[in-house]
Amino acid sequence: MEVTRVPVSLGERSYDVVIGERLLGEMREFAEAEKPTSSFIVTDTNVGPLHADVVQNAVVANEVFTVPAGENSKGIEQLARLYDEVFAARQVDRHSLVFALGGGMVGDLAGYLAATLLRGIRYVQVPTSLLAMVDSSVGGKTAINHAAGKNLIGAFHQPAAVFCDLHFLKTLPEREYVSAIAEIIKTAALSGDELMSLLEASADKLAAREVDSLQRVIEACVRFKAQVVAEDEVEVTGRRATLNLGHTLAHVIETAFPERYLHGEAVAIGTAAALRLSVERAKLDPEVATRVVALFGRFGLSTVVPENLEAARALEIMEADKKRTGHVLRFVVLSELGEAGALPCRLDDALAATLLGRSHA
Ligand SMILES: NC(=O)c1ccc[n+]([C@@H]2O[C@H](COP(=O)([O-])OP(=O)(O)OC[C@H]3O[C@@H](n4cnc5c(N)ncnc54)[C@H](O)[C@@H]3O)[C@@H](O)[C@H]2O)c1
């Protein structure tokens, strides 16, 4: 299949997301045209040994900096280490270029590094996880975590380019791959019938990582995200916030059961919950909810809230949500496939019963 380019149109911050298999030639051309004074790759201990060499050769990067794999590296400690290493290498100036080679963790960390080095230098996203290809590498949100919460320290800093090389997905662990499909299905619910139908028609091929199907699906997700980001780059109109469909209950589940669920697995459960809420309070046709839940099922993604999550505990976690106003939290709901909005909901037993999928006495 041909290489595709999806433009992210943001005036002088515009860039292309390049999607295809084996993009080293495209990366080389880009690096040659940029003519950076120096360039370095940030990666993690899983991805680095597998893929950093070829990328370094292609883009002629001076250094490869490697952080331990895992969400724990997305914090001030590894960021400080990276600043130390970059300055010790004495090669960074305003025309240096950073390559973020890895999943969303590396993308967010290296993106924030680039946003803050010398008040902001250019960087390139080279996502290697499916989640990073369809979501985190596009849109310029960069951040690190703090003990007080995830992504609390960050900046909007758009990349200069994104290269989604499907070849990298060959080494992605199965559970990470399937978990990212949950975010893709969430995107389909938000974007409408076209992507839903594409996923339904190509579910088996997608599960088998068939390259043509993957490219089509990644392209559709990136096009959708690019459009949302172009409409609401820094999250002021509420349009970009609709991408958080299913994320409130996902956050509850991840908080109540640390380490048990991958983010996408929690998003599958959270999206099904948000659709129950949509049926009840936003007039969503129940058949749409059933259709989306069935699609999760085709990839073996559970949409059932764990039995031992009690309503009181779920409400307690939502009460601690920073986005809450009084006892009200805004939920992303669908009125129909592809039509999302925000619905303020009182944090009470009735809400918990709907979200958890249990009857309310
Ligand atoms: N900036 C945004 O808009 C945005 C959006 C969504 C998520 N995120 C962030 O993204 C992160 C999650 O991203 P993720 O799911 O990619 O997690 P991740 O980066 O931790 O990657 C998941 C695991 O897969 C490994 N991996 C990645 N690519 C691989 C490959 N090709 N071969 C072998 N192993 C590979 C990683 O080393 C890691 O162990 C979170 O920090 C989240 O906050 C950011």
Query: 271-282: per-residue pLDDT in tens?
Result: 999 999 999 999
Judgement on whether residues 205 and 337 belong to the same structural domain of the protein: yes
Of 105, 130, 135, the residue with max ligand 1 atoms within 8 A of its CB, to mutate for a pocket test, comes to 105
Judgement on whether residues 109 and 71 belong to the same structural domain of the protein: yes
Angstrom distance (rounded) from CA 95 to CA 29: 17
- The pLDDT value recorded for residue 361 is 60
Q: Which residue has the tokens 């310029």?
A: 140
Q: Is the pTM of this model over 0.85?
A: yes
Judgement on whether residues 96 and 208 belong to the same structural domain of the protein: no
Radius of gyration (Cα) for the chain, nearest Å? 20
For residue 273, the enclosing domain spans: 174-356
Of 106, 129, 138, 167, the residue with max ligand 1 atoms within 8 A of its CB, to mutate for a pocket test, comes to 129
Judgement on whether residues 133 and 207 belong to the same structural domain of the protein: no
In a domain, 361, yes or no: no
Domain edge (last residue) among 171, 202, 227 = 171
- Do residues 121 and 94 touch, judged by C-beta distance below 8 A? yes
- The pLDDT value recorded for residue 281 is 98
- Do residues 287 and 279 touch, judged by C-beta distance below 8 A? no
136 pLDDT higher than 80 = yes
As beta bridge partners, residue 102 has: 127
Task: Convert the pLDDT of each residue in 154-167 to its tens digit.
Answer: 999 999 999 999 99
Judgement on whether residues 12 and 140 belong to the same structural domain of the protein: yes
Share of residues in the chain with pLDDT > 90 (%): 96
Cα 127 to ligand 1 centroid, rounded to whole Å: 8
Q: What is the mean pLDDT of the chain?
A: 97
Structural domain count, the chain: 2
258 pLDDT higher than 80 = yes
359 pLDDT higher than 90 = no
22 pLDDT higher than 90 = yes
Nearest partner of 45 among 91, 78, 77, 80, judged by Cα = 78
- The one catalytic residue among 74, 141, 216, 276: 141
For every residue of 56-95, DSSP letters joined together read HHHHT-SEEEEE-SSGGGSSHHHHHHHHHHHHHTT---TT
For every residue of 261-273, DSSP letters joined together read S-HHHHHHHHHHH
Sign of CA dihedral 187, 188, 189, 190: positive
CATH assignment at residue 342 = 1.20.1090.10
- The one catalytic residue among 51, 157, 223, 225: 225
81 pLDDT higher than 90 = yes
58 pLDDT higher than 80 = yes
91 pLDDT higher than 90 = no
Judgement on whether residues 309 and 329 belong to the same structural domain of the protein: yes
- The pLDDT value recorded for residue 260 is 96
Mean pLDDT, to the nearest integer, of 252-256?
97
Point out the ligand 1 atom lying closest to the alpha carbon of residue 141.
Answer: 1
- The pLDDT value recorded for residue 343 is 97
Domain edge (last residue) among 171, 192, 226 = 171
Domain edge (last residue) among 151, 171, 191 = 171
Judgement on whether residues 67 and 111 belong to the same structural domain of the protein: yes
Tally of residues, the chain:
361
Instruction: Give, in order, the Cα–Cα distances in Å from 104 to each of 92, 138, 309.
Output: 24, 10, 28
In a domain, 294, yes or no: yes
- The pLDDT value recorded for residue 87 is 95
Judgement on whether residues 142 and 189 belong to the same structural domain of the protein: no
SS3 278: helix
Mean pLDDT, to the nearest integer, of 120-136?
98
Judgement on whether residues 292 and 271 belong to the same structural domain of the protein: yes
Sign of CA dihedral 49, 54, 57, 62: negative
Mean pLDDT, to the nearest integer, of 28-46?
98
- 251: annotated active-site residue: yes
- 35: annotated active-site residue: no
Note the helical H segments in 35-75.
Answer: 47, 53-59
CATH assignment at residue 49 = 3.40.50.1970
111 pLDDT higher than 80 = yes
For residue 321, what pLDDT band results from cuts at 50, 70 and 90?
confident
Judgement on whether residues 243 and 341 belong to the same structural domain of the protein: yes
Judgement on whether residues 191 and 300 belong to the same structural domain of the protein: yes
Amino acid at 221: C
- The pLDDT value recorded for residue 244 is 97
- 145: annotated active-site residue: no
Share of residues in the chain with pLDDT > 70 (%): 99
In a domain, 78, yes or no: yes
- The one catalytic residue among 157, 186, 247, 276: 247
Judgement on whether residues 115 and 209 belong to the same structural domain of the protein: no
